[in-house]
Amino acid sequence: MLREIDNCFSQKGEPVKSCLAFLRQFILNHDSDITESWKYKMPFYCYKGKMFCYLWVHKKSNQPYIGIVEGSKINHPLLIVENRSRMKIMLIDAAQDIPIETISYILDQVLALYKITDPQKNKH
């Protein structure tokens, strides 16, 4: 029996399903402190237990996207706000090559925010 999080991915049609599967592994492999969890009925990725980003599919465009929890603190032209105050999203065209360098750059920017506020990092 599939876990809810695995079922969420498996129910999508192609090419969205493959795109989300790639993004899932890419995010998990980006940093050893990133973990996956099921929150708010969607796949969330946490950095040292703090909500970091999530994967979802845009209702209007049916495009997969990466939701950045602290997106309001990141400035990048591919991050859009829509009706959110804190979070921004990056839409991914599942029919095109995934912009891994851009995604990696954005994830690094967000990780830098988390690492600045990480109390373990500031201990001597």
Cα–Cα distance, 90 to 115 (Å, whole number) = 22
Radius of gyration of the CA atoms of the chain, in A: 14
Class of domain 4-116: alpha beta
Q: Would you place residue 122 in the very low, low, confident or very high pLDDT band (cuts 50, 70, 90)?
A: very low
Cβ neighbours of 38 (radius 10 Å): 14
pLDDT, tens digit, for every residue of 60-84? 999 999 999 999 999 999 999 988 8
pLDDT, tens digit, for every residue of 23-65? 999 999 999 999 999 998 899 999 999 999 999 999 999 999 9
Cα–Cα distance, 55 to 41 (Å, whole number) = 11
CB 66, CB 124: distance < 8 Å: no
Strand order in the sheet with 88-91: 34-39, 42-47, 50-57, 64-68, 88-91
- What's the pLDDT at 34? 97
Per domain, the residue ranges of the chain are: 4-116
Does the pLDDT of residue 1 top 80, yes or no? no
